[in-house]
Amino acid sequence: MSKPKTKFICQQCGFESIKWMGKCPNCDEWNTFVEETIASNFKTGCNDTELNKVELLRDIQSKDEDRVKTGIGEFDRVLGGGIVQGSLVLVGGDPGIGKSTLLLQISDLMSRYMKVLYVSGEESLRQIKLRADRIIKNIQEIYLVSETSIHKIEKHVERIIPGFIIIDSIQTMFTDESSTIPGSVSQVRQVTQHLLRLAKQNGITIFIIGHVTKEGAIAGPRVLEHMVDTVLYFEGDRSQTFRILRAVKNRFGSTNEIGVFEMMTDGLKEVKNPSELLLSDRQFNAAGTAVVNCMEGTRPIMMEVQSLICHTNFGIPRRMSTGIEYNKFVLLLAVIEKKLRLNLSQSDVYINIAGGMKVQEPAVDLGVVAAIISGYLNVPVPYDCCFTGEVGLTGEVRAVGSIERRIIEAKKLGFTRIFTPEMRVNNIEGIEIRRIREIKELYDFLKKL
């Protein structure tokens, strides 16, 4: 009998090699290669009857996807308007962030329409029941099974015929086809392949929970993300109650949407108006803070940017940012120093988005600049002012999208002045629109206060 062929696969990035290596040449990680057997029963050639039908694109009947609304507005919106029947969805997040809690609540809501099978490889049925007692009032038909073998799970599915399955979590599942331990790249890949087949052939919706590694990827490589229809990330600071559900890939909707939740003692509650919550702890007359209006998907969210400037005690001044990208923050600081001639070379500068939000939208720039100028001058930004706009390298304030929606949101929250880029916007009653061309105008405004 010939020796089975093996190859070495990097558990971090999926790079393949015929010999073991200490360091992966692709992702530069150390000690990540694991030997895996190559499946040798590949069949070549096939009968005519096995061929799939080829059709003309224009002749294919199109129909809207069947969607089921869970009733949790924040969750449905992130998915693009509800759960698409037969889709494979990956929910990633740090351990303990609340993935199992969220999906148990979703199971409860889905069980009103169809049979739900919750497969747990992490917790015992008793543990799940304890949690369910706390967060679900009237438990409907949810089938629970504690199982880690994908083949056994397939058998359970044949017997129960559920319409909705939760796999908690992909890292605990395994298949006999691979000799590696559960959680390794090839295990995760092969188990997901089984689940994909299960979802697509039987029209079952499957949600897969995946833990995120320190580097922020699910199960090491991103192989999984290619295989599923939708990838959601559940994030937030575990010490805070805020949780954000973000779509990073979605075959059935936009990827910019976020859903905001709050972790309570009886499960997750959706936050319908995040701006209100994010601004609830705002201090009156505090220098160094500014409210900024950013779009998250189709929704404007207002949040507070805080800055702290203090004299440096060491030779090299410190820069630290939470919530916005570090490089962008340093760049904005450089623009401020150069264009406004503020001397920050002897100061530590810290910046933070209150509430643990992470912002990537460029419109946050003007708020960051306002917070830093206000901190530097030690002059509070007036309580009724907010900001939105991108700042360029020459200190110019650049246009941003959906400006009208931002202004309306600001007005709704009681702001009476908003600083925006030079853009054409219809006047909106009750709020003054201050169009500015460069950050110098903002500096002059704060200086005069």
Q: Which residues bind ligand TYD (CB under 6 A)?
A: 93, 95-101, 131, 134-135, 263, 265-267
Shortest Å distance, C-beta 238 to Mg ion = 13
Please tell me whether 87 is known to bind a ligand.
no
Q: Is 101 in the site for Mg ion (CB under 5 A)?
A: no
Please tell me whether 95 is known to bind a ligand.
yes
Spatial separation of the C-alpha atoms in residues 153 and 202, rounded to whole Å: 14
Please tell me whether 97 is known to bind a ligand.
yes
Residue 367, burial from CB neighbour count under 10 angstroms (0-12, 13-18, 19+): buried
**Binding range to Mg ion, per CB under 5 A, among 95-103, 210-218, 329-337, 397-405:** 95-103
Q: Is 172 in the site for Mg ion (CB under 5 A)?
A: no
Q: Are 428 and 403 in contact (CB under 8 A)?
A: no
Please tell me whether 281 is known to bind a ligand.
no
Restricting to residues 214-273, which ones interact with Mg ion according to CB under 5 A? none
Select from ligand TYD, Mg ion, none the partner in contact with residue 135, using the beta carbon and a kind-dependent cut-off of 5 to 8 Å.
Answer: ligand TYD
Shortest Å distance, C-beta 211 to ligand TYD = 7
Which residue, 110 or 263, is less far from ligand TYD as judged by CB? 263
Q: Is 100 in the site for Mg ion (CB under 5 A)?
A: yes
Shortest Å distance, C-beta 446 to ligand TYD = 41
Which residue, 100 or 180, is less far from Mg ion as judged by CB? 100
Please tell me whether 382 is known to bind a ligand.
no
Nearest residue by C-beta to ligand TYD?
100
CA proximity to 296, closest of 271, 316, 331, 317: 271
Shortest Å distance, C-beta 293 to ligand TYD = 30
Q: Is 28 left (phi over 0), alpha (psi -120 to 50) or beta?
A: left
CA proximity to 304, closest of 268, 335, 273, 280: 280
Please tell me whether 98 is known to bind a ligand.
yes
Select from ligand TYD, Mg ion, none the partner in contact with residue 266, using the beta carbon and a kind-dependent cut-off of 5 to 8 Å.
Answer: ligand TYD
Q: Is 171 in the site for Mg ion (CB under 5 A)?
A: no
Select from Mg ion, ligand TYD, none the partner in contact with residue 321, using the beta carbon and a kind-dependent cut-off of 5 to 8 Å.
Answer: none
Binding positions for Mg ion, rule: CB under 5 A: 100
> What are the binding residues?
93-100
